[in-house]
Amino acid sequence: MVLDMLCIIGTEIAVGYFTFGRFLSPATLDQVELLIPVYWTIAANTGTYSSRALTSLRFSQSRAVASVFISLMVMIFLAFFLRTGMATSRVWTLGSTLANAVTLSWLRSFVQPHFRNRCGPTAENVLIFNDGGPPLRIAHAWHIDTTEHGLRPDRFDPHMLDRLGLFMTNMDRVLVSCPPERRSDWALVFKGSNISGEIVEPDVATLGAIGARRGLDFGALVVSAGPLNLRDRALKRLMDIAIAGTALAALAPLLILIALAIRIQDGGPVFFMQQRQGRNNRLFWIYKFRSMRVEKLDATGSRSASKDDERITPVGRFIRRTSIDEMPQLINVLRGDMSIVGPRPHAIGSLAGTKRFWEVDSRYLLRHSLKPGLTGLAQIRGYRGATDTEHDLAIRLQADLEYVDGWTIWRDLHIMVATLRVLVHDRAF
């Protein structure tokens, strides 16, 4: 707060000098006297001085800039309704506001690295009691071995509680790693103290728990909540319907020509249907233009197409290289089996080297928490074609999980635009 005050004073004086030709004009002094308390009040209520602001530069800068402009609006309100009669210049007021936003942002970019080095990545005072449980180490935290210090969670001993309270004073978080039989005692000690207390549970990390929930007579670890809420699912679905419906109508002449070419070529079926894994691990039938000879079709997907694959027809080679063979999946999108953007659906017999996909990495099933897509993050990064090795699957899976964990509607739009650049690709055989 003091640094912000000095920064604002210096900026106001500098802007006042360039505007009025004086370092300490009456207008400058009046504005500084009003701006600083207004800014402090607003900054304190917008999280500008929160612990998060000490660890996130972008958050800190955005809150400081927002506080500056809100302060400007408050000062205009006060000047108008209170009729202060304070002499002001619109150019000077706007210039000083912009200058304050810039200098306060610069101040944070300069000061924050020093706070992070001194206070750690969370800027919190963290205390850990090691009381015979699994070893726990956190950088920049205070670690206390209860055996060495003669500490125990004895709620019947006021002197012991006093010693524990002395250690826990001024701590933002207190954790204890202890055997199961002592957890209830530590829980009572924490609840009777004015602290944020946590008991280490190894299963939380093992299961990947994201929270806890308490029922009437039981407790449960929350291990999954779904990546999208109802609003996001509705928004994504509406976009899918709009784009898929428009694309099918616009591409109808081309799709009819491709269907005729496939039919005329060998008299076989136009479409190839295969079971794929979709959202919630449910199986669905995916539609593609048939690109292989009828007698060579691979219903399970155990063999990926390769260069100069004898199973692929001349028409099939063209539509695979240009991704036209995937266009019937717009029907899957309208049916709700798929989305425009999402992890690509795999055949249940697909192999990475000699292993099934889910045998390579236990996280494979996590990609099924969203609907599969016509295109995805892995595809625009060039991860296409056969999965000849486990590494081929690993890099695609990493991209899929990155998409699932960081979904936004803007990322979907970005992937759609980026897909236009990779529709024709060399790894389609």
> What is the rounded average pLDDT of the residues 167-193?
91
Residue 398 confidence (pLDDT): 92
Residue 138 confidence (pLDDT): 84
> What is the rounded average pLDDT of the residues 384-395?
83
pLDDT digits (tens, 9 = 90+) for 241-257: 999 999 999 999 999 99
Pull the structure tokens for residue 265: 């070529």
DSSP string, 261-310: HHHHHHS--SEEEEEEE-GGG-EEEEEEE--B-GGG--SS--S---TT-T
pLDDT digits (tens, 9 = 90+) for 6-50: 877 777 777 776 666 666 666 667 677 777 788 888 888 887 777
85 vs 71: CA distance, rounded Å: 18
Pull the structure tokens for residue 324: 């036209």
What's CA 168's distance to the chain center, in Å?
A: 33
Quick check: helix, strand or coil at residue 170? coil
* Top-confidence residue, 409 or 114: 409
Q: Write down the domain spans for the chain.
A: 2-119, 126-222, 230-419
Facing residues of 128 across strands?
143, 175
- Cβ pair 344, 373 in contact under 8 A: yes
DSSP string, 198-211: EE--HHHHHHT--E
* Cut 0.95: pTM above it: no
Quick check: helix, strand or coil at residue 56? coil
High-pLDDT (> 90) share of the chain, %: 36
Does pLDDT of 171 surpass 50? yes
- Cβ pair 342, 317 in contact under 8 A: no
pLDDT digits (tens, 9 = 90+) for 63-85: 888 888 888 788 777 766 665 55
